[in-house]
Chains A and B, each alone.
Chain A
Amino acid sequence: MENNQKFSAEQSLQIIQSMIEKAKQDVANNSFYLLLWGWLIFITAILNFILMKFTNFEYPYIVWNLMWIGAVASIVKGVRDSKKIAVKTFVGETMKYFGISQAILYFGLIFFFGKYDLWTIAFPLYILVYAVTCFFMGTLMQFSLLKWTGLLCLPLMVIAAYVSFDWQLLLMAMAILISYVIPGHVLNAKEKLQNKITEK
């Protein structure tokens, strides 16, 4: 682009529009975290259910230690991306701090559930957190599917409050599949398509 000062008002508008569009295309890829945590929680909840229902294993909840994989992977990806990133968007920054806030929230919840032995209400509350998270992220990213799948978790939360612990596990697996995994794959396909267009 040259530094020409003789151009029409229409050309001015075209420059403004095209640059705003180009800046929008550089919004960070968010599907990674949805897919990582979605699949990890889904698999862990199913594993916990199988160990509880079909084996005599004394500590089936031990599988939740798999969450550390997600924590380490998220930190590594976050640090790597922050080094690569050449632009900071308002949406990207909000998502970053929302992610950190969520980590704090989960640690806080786990602490209180453990301290007061509240594991029977843990999963309905986690489902509520998924619902709120997806609704907020969907609104922020202007990704309606995520917003609606988040809201779909609310009836699952109510049902989970009335069933036994083992069935709560299955409801949580279903909630994470609906709210994280499915929108995560749709978002991933969208991002791949957008990256292809940008490369061209």
Chain B
Amino acid sequence: MFKDLDPILHSQLRLAVMSLLISVKEAEFTFLKEKTNATAGNLSVQIQKLKEAGYIEVIKQFKDNYPQTICKITSIGIKAFEEYVKNLQGYLTQK
């Protein structure tokens, strides 16, 4: 039976961010911005939504006197992503 796709993940930019973070240990905001081609403002909003859902952890720190934002996927995020992919596969096979 087709299950509804997670609305937090079923958004192009949020899905792209999660797909990048699932492949690495952690990534800087600049890396995510470069790979997704998103604007800084839009990316910040979507990262905040993923953080509020508990899917990612955001660490703000200073590196060489410059602010640095590091994003990391959480275990809840990994589970949600796996579930999303599973539902997606189920949906595709049903089609």
Measured CB to CB, the residues of A under 8 A from B are 1-5, 7, 9-13, 15-16, 19-20, 22-24, 26, 83, 86-90, 92-93
Contact = CB atoms under 8 A, between A and B. Distances in A.
Interface of B: 5, 7, 10-16, 19-20, 22-28, 30-31, 34-38, 42, 45-46, 63-64, 85, 88, 91-92, 95
A93 B25 CA distance: 9
Contact of B23 (A3, A19, A86): A19
Contact of A3 (B26, B30, B46): B46
A19 B32 CA distance: 10
A9 B88 contact: yes
B92 A20 contact: no
Contacts of B5: 9, 12
A1 B28 contact: no
Contact of B20 (A2, A3, A11, A22): A22
Contact of B16 (A15, A26, A89, A93): A15
Contacts of A87: 24, 26-28, 31
Given A9-B92, A12-B15, A3 B24 contact: no
Nearest to B14: A3
Contacts of B36: 1, 19
Contacts of B92: 9-10, 13
Chain A residues touching B, majority SS:
helix
Nearest to A93: B25
Contacts of A10: 92
B13 A3 contact: yes
A104 B44 CA distance: 42
A15 B42 CA distance: 17
Contacts of B42: 2-3
8 contacts: A3-B11, A3-B12, A4-B11, A11-B12, A23-B24, A83-B63, A83-B64, A86-B30
Nearest to B72: A88
A94 to B, nearest CB: 10
A20 B22 contact: yes
A20 B27 contact: no
A19 B46 CA distance: 16
B64 A20 contact: no
A200 B32 CA distance: 18
A2 B35 contact: no
